[in-house]
Each structure stands twice: as structure tokens, then as C-alpha cells.
């Protein structure tokens, strides 16, 4: 058998980050498709908030706006974690990831508050299933982000601040950036345009 010229195994080209990029794109498309369907069905039902929204619905806009600010802030904080881990600063990496996770939990709390104040069931007209389906999917993506954050924090705090362990922090950051961008659209469609 002919032997090809040998070479040392090439360094991993940020496999986790690349994989997370594809997963983030897929997740964004799930929510994007749902928002498109929401707009289409809203349009088919009169296309304005008077005809579209159930009469007794209460959309807590304060909580929604807080969610937007919180998720954008989490996106900034997680970038601090990336900066810290690339400098080998475990303590600040831990702070940054801890704060990011806290902000992620705050997003979930805001969403729970919105659900609590809604005053309608899931089965309420065409609006209910769409609202709960889209916001629930976003909630699930946020929980996945929290999982990412916890694993990255455990690795960083355990002293693993090189190679693939840095990469997981970058991947966590990418996930939170995706969440921020996606939520901007969710906020605009579900809470601004309604």
C-alpha cells in the first residue's frame, strides 16, 4: 500500500464552536419559521391587533422589555467570560459565566411572569397555541444555554482554561448571541407588533 506523506495530526479547528454554529443556525430557523407562520396566520385573521388578539388577553410589556434588556446584557456578559478565559483568568471567567447564568434565569422568570399575567389558556383561538408555542420554544433554547453555561463554568472553575475548554466558553457565547438576536425578532413580533 502506498503511504501518504505523514504529518502531525492537525490541531482541532474549533470543532465545538463550528458544531454550535450549525446548531445555533438550526435553532434560529426553528423560531424564524414559527414567527413567519405567526405573521401569516395573523394576516389571515384580519392583520391587526383588534381582530387578532383575544379580548381578555394581557401582554405584560414591562416584563417583555425587561427580557429584551436582560438577554442583551447576558450576551455582553458572556463575551466578558470569553475575554477572561483567553487571558487564563479563571476567577473572572467564573464571575462572568455566573452572571450570564443568572441573567438567563431572569429571562425565564420574566417569561413565567408574562405567562402568569396572560389570562388566557393555550387553546385560546389561533393566538394561544402560536404564542405559547413560540415563547415556549425560546424558553427551551434559553434553558439549553443555561446548561452550556453551567458546563463551561464547571470546566473553567476546575482549572481547565486551555484548548477545547476555552472553546466551550466561546460556544456558550455564540449560543447566547444567537438567543439575543432571535429574541429581538420574538420581542418585535410577539410583544411589539403582537
Partner 1 sequence: MTMTTSPAEIHAADAADPAVRPYVAPTGLAAWLTTSDHKRIGRLYIGFALLLGLATAVVGALLNLERLDSGKVVLPDDSLAQMLSLYRVGFAFLVVVPLLVGLAIAVVPLQVGAQGIAFPRAAALSFWTWLIGSGLLIGAYAANGGPGGGEREAVALFLSAFTLVLLALITAAVCVATTVVADRAAGMTLLRAPALAWTGLVWSAGLVLSLPVVLGNVILLAVDYRYGRSLFQGNVGIAKYIDLAIRQPQIYLYAVPVLGIVADIVATASRTRQTMRGVLFAGIGAAALFGIGVDIQASLNPDVREQFLFVVASLAFVLPVVMVLGWCGLALKNGRVKATAALAFAMLSLLLLLAASLAGALTGFKGLDLVGTTWENGHFNLVLGSAVLGGVAGVFHWWPKLSGRLVSDALAKLLVLPALGGVVLISAVELIMGFADDVPADRLKETGSDFGNAAGVAGLVGQLLLLVAVLGAAGLLLRAAKGGDAAGDDPWDGQTLEWATPSPAPVANFAEGVVVTSPEPLFDLKHAAGKDA
Site of interaction with partner 1 (CB under 8 A): 1-10, 12-16, 18-19, 22-23, 25-27, 29-34, 36-37, 40-41, 121-126, 128-130, 132-134, 136-137, 163-165, 168
Closest by alpha carbon to 79, among 171, 186, 188?
Answer: 171
- Pick between residue 103 and residue 124 the one whose CB is nearest to partner 1: 124
CB 52 to partner 1: min, Å: 12
- Pick between residue 99 and residue 141 the one whose CB is nearest to partner 1: 141
CB 73 to partner 1: min, Å: 27
- Pick between residue 18 and residue 59 the one whose CB is nearest to partner 1: 18
- Pick between residue 30 and residue 157 the one whose CB is nearest to partner 1: 30
Distance set, CA 172 to CA 5, 40, 83, 151 (Å): 37, 33, 13, 9
Inter-residue long-range contacts of 31-36, CB under 8 Å, 24+ positions, other chains counted = 31/134, 31/137, 31/138, 31/141, 31/182, 31/185, 31/186, 32/182, 32/185, 34/130, 34/133, 34/134, 34/137, 35/134, 35/185, 35/186, 35/189
Q: Given CA atoms 19, 20, 24, 25 in this order, what sign does their dihedral have?
A: negative
- Pick between residue 2 and residue 50 the one whose CB is nearest to partner 1: 2
CB 81 to partner 1: min, Å: 17
CB 39 to partner 1: min, Å: 12
Distance CA 49, CA 161 (A): 51
Q: What is the DSSP letter of 136?
A: H
Q: Which three cell numbers stand for residue 175?
A: 449560543
CB 7 to partner 1: min, Å: 4
Amino acid at each position: 500500500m502506498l503511504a501518504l506523506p505523514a504529518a502531525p495530526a492537525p490541531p482541532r479547528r474549533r470543532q465545538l464552536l463550528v458544531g454550535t454554529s450549525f446548531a445555533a443556525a438550526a435553532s434560529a430557523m426553528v423560531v424564524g419559521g414559527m414567527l413567519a407562520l405567526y405573521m401569516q396566520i395573523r394576516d389571515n385573521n384580519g392583520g391587526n391587533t383588534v381582530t387578532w388578539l383575544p379580548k381578555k388577553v394581557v401582554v405584560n410589556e414591562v416584563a417583555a422589555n425587561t427580557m429584551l434588556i436582560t438577554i442583551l446584557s447576558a450576551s455582553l456578559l458572556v463575551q466578558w467570560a470569553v475575554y477572561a478565559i483567553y487571558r487564563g483568568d479563571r476567577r473572572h471567567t467564573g464571575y462572568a459565566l455566573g452572571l450570564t447564568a443568572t441573567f438567563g434565569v431572569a429571562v425565564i422568570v420574566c417569561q413565567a411572569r408574562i405567562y402568569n399575567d396572560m389570562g388566557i389558556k393555550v387553546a385560546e383561538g389561533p393566538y394561544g397555541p402560536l404564542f405559547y408555542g413560540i415563547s415556549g420554544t425560546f424558553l427551551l433554547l434559553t434553558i439549553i444555554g443555561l446548561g452550556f453555561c453551567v458546563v463551561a463554568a464547571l470546566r473553567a472553575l476546575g482549572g481547565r482554561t486551555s484548548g477545547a475548554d476555552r472553546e466551550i466558553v466561546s460556544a456558550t457565547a455564540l449560543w447566547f448571541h444567537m438567543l439575543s438576536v432571535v429574541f429581538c425578532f420574538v420581542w418585535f413580533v410577539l410583544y411589539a407588533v403582537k
